[in-house]
Amino acid sequence: MTVYRFLLLVFTIGTLIPLTSSAQISEGGIPMEIAGLKSAKNKTIQLPPIENFLTTEEIKKDFFSDNLLKPFQFAYPFEVNFTTENSGNWFQGDNGYKIWKLTIHSEGAKSLNLIFDEFELPENSRLFIYNKSKNHVLGAFSNRNNKASRKFAVSPVEGDEITVQLEVQNELVSHNYFRITHVNHDYIGILKSGDRRPLGKVAGACNIDINCDAWGEWIEVKNSVCRMIVNGKEVCSGVLVNNTEEDQKPYVLSAAHCYDRWSYADVTVYAFNYESPFCAPLDGDPANSISGATMKAHYDSLDFALVELSVVPPPDFRPYYAGWNRKTEKPGSTVSIHHPQGDVKKLAVDKNQPIISSFGEPDYIDKNYIEDGFLRINRWDEGVTEAGSSGGPLFDENKNVVGTLTGGRATCQNPIYDYYERFSLSWDFRADTSKQLKYWLDPQNSGVQVLNGKQFNEGENLCATFTNLNDDDGYSLIPLITSDGFGGYWGGSNSSGITEFMERFSIEANEILRGVSFGVGKFRDVLKSSDSEIKVKVYTGRDLPEQLIYSQDVKIQRFAEDAMNYIPFVEDITPAGDFFIGFELSNIQPLDSFAVYQSLRPDTESNSFYFLRENTWFNFKENNGSGKSIANIFEVLACNIDDLSTDTPQVENPLDILVFPNPTSSKFTIEAGQDILENQLKVFNLLGQAVEVKVNKINNRKADVDLRGNVPGVYFVKLQGEYGTSTYKISFVPW
């Protein structure tokens, strides 16, 4: 597993997402240059050495603590008082703007993040935070980020030196628009990629990546779970929950011990969809982040906290509002979704009933908590929780929340005894509305005991992500070997004249493309000149890329290595059929390089990789000499996918089935009007012979079927169920 390397507040163009006055979403852009200069010297504030406050042994003691609670602390907080009046320097910008810059250096920091107070930016102003090499930039933030609390938190920025840059109109320079109160020094390496954790701690290999095919039934519910960075120094997990008015009020439920103070909700960053796009531990992109919330209810003795986010997560975040079950009966089985060690989203499974327990029992009972206030997982059957999983939801067999993680002793080596607060007890154990869930989650006082989760977005606002990846895929930089030896990479910089790299997609909807994520394997920016860039492109076409319908330049400095990197489009793209998406090496300077991860597949597998060499397009499978295939580690964000929604069954007649896409290149989905029972779904060839297929059941009436390994041709899908037999013809045409 990898710890996340590049945590970035979402870089979204304002035309794509309507921004309200309280939105905490950044608007993108590039910091303004000081008039007449490429750069300007400004005073740097040196913070005291962290060794004066925290020794390595103390860090280890905290990191390996026997404390049963499972937050994950990664930073030391320096309390400061920096404003535009007492710190930094003012410079003249262009077009009637002044620029204020403050540089902060904390020797040895792996990353730095800031907490602001008295935060109130004026109209037409912009705020950026970036590191020394300017390859990690947060912002622009504007007056749209102002909120009632006047507090603001930002995500970690890589390196031990950061610059805060404020751009305001000339006549406003006499005002003070914020106060920096905390600089948080990351001593763990929260942005580091790699298989090993800091201080020699190895991430638990038993954790299950959330997007493995076997857990496809959680594809919607998982979007309710977020990772939280609290007060710039601690990581927990949380879950977006529904309420009986079903009004999209963005309540997030987590653990009380994650918020040491009531006010910490104001300075927490909530990242949705921070996950690997497939069943592999590739680092995700936490671009879908919201800064700040308001605490509504908090009770230490049952260890729950409920906050309301400062803004409703926009459609591009694919928000799902999880349901809940406040019945006192124990669930028959449970699943927990969480961010262990602050890593990409994982899943743990217990196929047995949890036990009603006191916290710490049976080893000992912690008297600080309500007796029998917890559901105890005796032993995880698959997966586990770790530090950073605190606050992660526990779902019952109907995918409704029944608790949130307080802590426990479970590890990969011994996955026993994890403790979740009992949602049913937190509901109204205390009459005080600030210490109960009922007042907030049942404002109608309806008495409802079970409320199902809900996807509120529909039509053009219903979004999802798509890849061509499956559980058999890995990821690596695939070398391109020529007669002269190593010739670069099939996924990027090379000496063979390949200039464009495309992935073919087929989505059965009138989709609107909003952006794409690339799994960046490496880039090299030798001169730090900010001049090297790629050109993101979208083509339409059936067999090969044909018509270019979109192009966008992206600086390679904005990418993070060994991670997924999301690129939002500056306009909506409607390909209306099959399309190709990828990039052109348009302006890579000498000595610089760029390459994406790919998955090399056997010759029996489908290919989705196409490349341009000397103005001619090629299908990789047909032009690599060995017949092998490749899938690029790309993920597309598409909206207007209502016809793919799983909220409401599309098939009502028990004897009808729906099969899509048809034709298919590998997998297809079957939806039936009756339950799909085990061993009663079969696929036959034209000779009437049953063929081997892999079936992954999504829910009782829906399943994915994988035809790979069979010869191309026409097949018949046959479902024999309680109400009779249904048959459907499908064409298998590998690309």
Query: Are residues 97 and 182 both part of a single domain?
Result: yes
Q: Provide the whole-model pTM.
A: 0.74
pLDDT at 22: 30
Between CA 14 and CA 392 the distance in angstroms is 31
For residue 200, the one-letter residue type is G
Query: Is the predicted pLDDT of residue 35 greater than 90, yes or no?
Result: no
pLDDT at 341: 86
Residues 546-560 have a mean pLDDT of: 89
Query: Are residues 596 and 699 both part of a single domain?
Result: no
Reported as a pLDDT band with limits 50, 70 and 90, residue 10 is very low
Query: Are residues 601 and 660 both part of a single domain?
Result: no
Residue of 366, 355, 325 lying closest to 416 (CA atoms): 355
Query: Are residues 470 and 601 both part of a single domain?
Result: yes
Query: Are residues 694 and 573 both part of a single domain?
Result: no
pLDDT at 523: 80
Residue of 160, 161, 163 lying closest to 189 (CA atoms): 160
Kindly state whether residue 275 falls inside one of the protein's structural domains. no
Kindly state whether residue 289 falls inside one of the protein's structural domains. no
Here the tokens at position 38 are 């490429």
Residue of 26, 300, 265, 30 lying closest to 148 (CA atoms): 265
In this structure, of 85-99, 300-314, 338-352, 639-653, the range with the lowest mean pLDDT score is 639-653
Burial zone of 555 (CB within 10 Å; 0-12 exposed, 13-18 middle, 19+ buried): middle
Report whether 306 contacts 324 (CB < 8 A).
Answer: no
- Tell me the residue range of the domain where 611 lies: 463-639
Question: 148, 175, 199: which is the final residue of a domain?
Answer: 199
Query: Are residues 632 and 663 both part of a single domain?
Result: no
Instruction: Give per-residue pLDDT as tens, 350-365.
Output: 999 999 999 999 988 9
Query: Are residues 623 and 695 both part of a single domain?
Result: no
More confident residue, 678 or 624: 624
Kindly state whether residue 367 falls inside one of the protein's structural domains. no
Residue with tokens 């041709």: 713
Cβ contacts of 57 within 8 Å, gap of 6 or more: none
Query: Are residues 481 and 621 both part of a single domain?
Result: yes
More confident residue, 529 or 63: 529
Query: Are residues 628 and 655 both part of a single domain?
Result: no
pLDDT at 53: 65
Question: 639, 667, 683: which is the final residue of a domain?
Answer: 639
Query: Are residues 609 and 673 both part of a single domain?
Result: no
Question: Helix (H, G, I), strand (E, B), or coil: what is residue 367?
Answer: coil
pLDDT at 191: 62
Instruction: Give per-residue pLDDT as tens, 403-430.
Output: 999 999 999 999 999 999 999 999 999 9
Residue of 452, 45, 549, 63 lying closest to 220 (CA atoms): 452
Domain total of the chain: 3
Report whether 210 contacts 218 (CB < 8 A).
Answer: yes
Kindly state whether residue 629 falls inside one of the protein's structural domains. yes
Query: Are residues 665 and 628 both part of a single domain?
Result: no
The per-residue pLDDT of the chain, averaged, comes to 86
Tell me if the bond preceding 140 is cis, omega within 30° of 0: yes
Instruction: Give per-residue pLDDT as tens, 654-707.
Output: 777 878 777 777 788 888 888 888 788 899 998 888 999 988 887 788 888 988
Residues 304-325 have a mean pLDDT of: 95
- The helix (H) or strand (E) run that includes residue 57 is helix 56-63
pLDDT at 527: 56
pLDDT at 498: 96
- Taking CA atoms, 668 is separated from 632, 659, 663, in Å, by 20, 7, 9
Kindly state whether residue 335 falls inside one of the protein's structural domains. no
CATH code, domain carrying 580: 2.60.120
State phi, psi for 423 to the nearest 5 degrees: -55, -40
Query: Are residues 88 and 146 both part of a single domain?
Result: yes
Between CA 266 and CA 73 the distance in angstroms is 18
Query: Is the predicted pLDDT of residue 61 greater than 60, yes or no?
Result: no
pLDDT at 190: 66
pLDDT at 305: 98
Kindly state whether residue 116 falls inside one of the protein's structural domains. yes
Instruction: Give per-residue pLDDT as tens, 234-266.
Output: 889 999 999 999 999 999 999 999 998 999 999
Tell me the Cα Rg of the chain.
Answer: 26
CATH code, domain carrying 682: 2.60.40.10
Between CA 548 and CA 251 the distance in angstroms is 42
Between CA 600 and CA 117 the distance in angstroms is 50
Reported as a pLDDT band with limits 50, 70 and 90, residue 342 is confident
Kindly state whether residue 363 falls inside one of the protein's structural domains. no
Question: 166, 199, 232: which is the final residue of a domain?
Answer: 199
State phi, psi for 221 to the nearest 5 degrees: -60, -35
Kindly state whether residue 419 falls inside one of the protein's structural domains. no
